[in-house]
Amino acid sequence: MSLLSYLINGISLGSVYAIIALGYTMVYGIAKMLNFAHGDVIMVGGYVVFVLASGMGLPPILAVLISMVVCTVLGMVIERVAYKPLRMAASPLAVLITAIGVSYLLQNLALLLFGANTKSFTSVVTIPAIVLAEGQLTISGETIVTIIACIVIMVGLTAFIKKTKAGQAMLAVSEDKGAAQLMGINVNGTIALTFAIGSALAAVAGVLLCSTYPSLTPYTGAMPGIKAFVAAVFGGIGSIPGAMIGGILLGIIEILGKAYISSQMADAIVFAVLIVVLLVKPTGILGKEIQEKV
């Protein structure tokens, strides 16, 4: 029974990773850049909901929606101000270092605004927990909502990319920017849209993460952000189902590692997985190999 409950916790945590990883993988697929600030957008989403729901007493659903809007705008502003000018830069390191700077900026802004103290986040989920097998197995409301949200987002996003014009434009831009532009696709607009979607997802992930683990600090987003990138690499970067599989596997590995090996070593185990994956199959589980052209 304990194994089963660990597995469920793992899937729940993994679903959060998967939602974050979706944002990473979409942005990486299109802009070919590692958006280090993605994790900190999660933190911003968490704080917005905290201020609105706990501070101003707005209904949770409304708070989550506003948080998504705030994060969407934030994501687009970051892209416009910090990343777009460097898109054609000579060195690929330039935009990566800028992204680190943005991540750092968001953390320290939050530190100035809200202080270093841990804020206790009130869960926005009101669904009661399900008790199974005579009380031996409890599935919390947060877990149910997280898993459902993850599935809905995944299905929605796949449909969006397959069925809509904007989604097809995203695919085209991720394959070949130049050719896409020649076909009349607004490349800059598509990239901005990707950042917007990714950031909105980050807000959702932030709320779910803080509901399950109810402590909020300016550094809340950094570690899950990095782990979600690990998940994205694990599943094959650029692939939406890959991000999903990678996220859930990573969540399970982390929870099982915490339970059976060592709670202090859980992060180390997750990162060791990353190194092993990159060694054995650098393209990830569902990734495509792209040959470098001279």
Partner 1 sequence: MNKMNKTTKQNMVTYAIVIIAYIIVMLLGVTGHISSLMEGLLVPLCIYVILAVSLNLVVGILGELSLGHAGFMCVGAFAGSFFSMCTKEAMPSGLRFLLALLIGAAVAAVFGILIGIPVLRLRGDYLAIVTLAFGEIIKNLMNVLYIGRDETGFHFSMKDSMALGLSPEGKTIINGPQGITGTPHDASFTIGVVLILLTLFMILNLIHSRDGRAIMAIRDNRIAAESIGINVTKYKLMAFTLSASIAGVAGVLYAHNLSTLTALPKNFGYNMSIMILVFVVLGGIGNIRGSVISAVVLTLLPELLRGLSDYRMLIYAVVLIAMMLFNWSPKAVTFRERYSLKRLLSRKETPDNHAAQ
Query: Binding residues for partner 1, per CB under 8 A?
Result: 28, 33-34, 82, 85-86, 88-98, 100-102, 104-105, 107-109, 111-112, 222, 226, 229-230, 233, 262, 264-265, 267-268, 271-272, 274-275, 278-279, 282, 292, 294
Cβ proximity to partner 1: between 125 and 233 the closer is 233
Instruction: In angstroms, give the least distance from the CB of 1 to partner 1.
Output: 26
Instruction: In angstroms, give the least distance from the CB of 138 to partner 1.
Output: 30
What is the DSSP annotation of 124-174?
A: ---PPPEEETTTTEEE-HHHHHHHHHHHHHHHHHHHHHHHSHHHHHHHHHH
Q: Where are the beta strands (DSSP E) in the chain?
A: 119-120, 130-132, 137-139, 215-216
| Residue 32 one-letter amino acid | K
CB 124 within 8 Å of CB 141: no
| Residue 239 one-letter amino acid | S
CB 210 within 8 Å of CB 31: no
- Contacts of 100-106 spanning 24+ positions with Cβ under 8 A: 100/36, 102/36, 102/37, 102/40, 102/78, 103/36, 103/37, 103/39, 103/40, 103/222, 103/225, 106/37, 106/40, 106/41, 106/43, 106/44
Question: Bridge partners of 137?
Answer: 132
Cβ proximity to partner 1: between 164 and 215 the closer is 215
Instruction: In angstroms, give the least distance from the CB of 220 to partner 1.
Output: 14
- Angle at which helix 2-31 crosses helix 165-175, to 10 degrees, equals 70
**Widest CA span in the chain:** 64
Cβ proximity to partner 1: between 50 and 229 the closer is 229
| Distance of alpha carbon 276 from alpha carbon 260, whole angstroms | 20
CB 14 within 8 Å of CB 250: yes
